Amino acid sequence: MTIHRFLARAFAALLLLTGASVQARSTAPSTIIAKPALWQVKDEDTTIYLFGTVHVMKPGIDWFGGNVKKAFDTSDELMLEIIEPDDPQAIGTTMATMALAKDGVKLSDRLAPEARGKYQAAMQENGLPWQTFEMFYPWMSGMALSVAPLERLGYKSDLGAEKILRASAQSAGKKVGALETVQEQIGFFAGLPMEQQIEFLNATVDGLPDMETEFADLLKYWQAGKPDKLAKSMNESLEATPELAQVLLVGRNANWAKWIKARLNQPGTVFIAVGAGHLAGKGSVQDQLKALGVASRRVAE
């Protein structure tokens, strides 16, 4: 998976957080018992669990059980990457505002002729009127194209791990917090240089035929609790662009590790749920904790 294909999946994960109603648990019959990975950071009076999430899923995957459910039930607080606004349009409005091209250049005019034709055809094939996106920077169209096929393939945002966890925490009266704001998270992507935005959009278009297979592989590794394979699929391509890796992955992981270390000074039990790619591979949150002298261990199944 190329660096820009990775970005497509990252963008899709963010945008799909704006999906419809929250459900505490899918009503579909369970057909797959998943065993995703879970880690623990602990001192004398504080326990922090680290859980890697998948933002969208198909019905019939039972992951909220076993050690994950036990850790969540014993926790006093849930920490997510962001807290989705109660208004489902809020993230979309923020994105649209940040994506509005300030230079007045039409999106299609930024693309080479061949790429422009492929882009416009892909938008139409996925029910997205490319004319509506002419006022935006390229990353916005890349996000839209990353989402539309997944929705058509049956992936649902209301089955994503964050929504399930947040609904369960609220039902149980647990405190819910966030490591980043919506504006900060979108800003990581919106701040990409124009050249990288265009490359990202072109690669998203080129990668559409492989999206179903690639996303299914990521979900399979997550379900099986195989972070090493997940890291190979998601993160290793970032090594080709270290500056981008620093912004999207390593720098954020380092910030979260500092938060975790500071949180150890306060007694209690915290369940942290972030995208699974942040807890896998080189530069992971666990690596950043180790650099700070804080040990983590994987919770045995």
Q: Where are the beta strands (DSSP E) in 43-83?
A: 46-53, 61-62, 77-80
The reported pLDDT for the residue numbered 241 is 57
Total residue length of the chain: 301
pTM recorded for the entire structure: 0.85
Confidence category of residue 31, pLDDT binned at 50, 70, 90: confident
Q: What is the pLDDT of residues 127-186, one digit of tens each?
A: 999 999 999 999 999 889 988 888 888 888 888 899 999 999 999 999 999 999 988 888
Q: What are phi and psi of 141, to 5 degrees?
A: -65, -35
Query: Contact 57/219 with Cβ under 8 angstroms?
Result: yes
Domain boundaries, the chain: 3-298
Model confidence at 24, in pLDDT bands (50, 70, 90)?
very low
Whether residue 72 has pLDDT greater than 60: yes
In this structure, are residues 146 and 204 in contact, taking their beta carbons and an 8 Å threshold? yes
Segment 237-285, tens digit of pLDDT: 555 556 667 777 889 999 999 999 999 999 999 999 999 989 998 899 9
- At 273-296, the pLDDT tens digits run 999 989 998 899 999 999 999 999
- Choose among 59, 83, 19, 63: nearest CA to 276: 63
- The full 3-state SS of 157-196, as one line of letters, equals HHHCHHHHHHHHHHHCCCEEEECCCHHHHHHHHHCCCHHH
- Residue spans of beta strands (DSSP E) within the chain: 32-33, 38-42, 46-53, 61-62, 77-80, 175-178, 268-275, 297-298
Buried b (16+ CB within 10 A) or exposed e, 72-93: beebebbbbbbbbeeeeeebee
pLDDT band at residue 234, thresholds of 50, 70 and 90?
A: low
Query: Are 19 and 162 spatial neighbours (Cβ–Cβ below 8 Å)?
Result: no
Q: Under DSSP, is residue 42 helix (H, G, I), strand (E, B) or coil?
A: strand
CB 114, CB 205: distance < 8 Å:
no
pLDDT interval class at 190 (50, 70, 90) = confident
Residue 84 has what pLDDT?
81
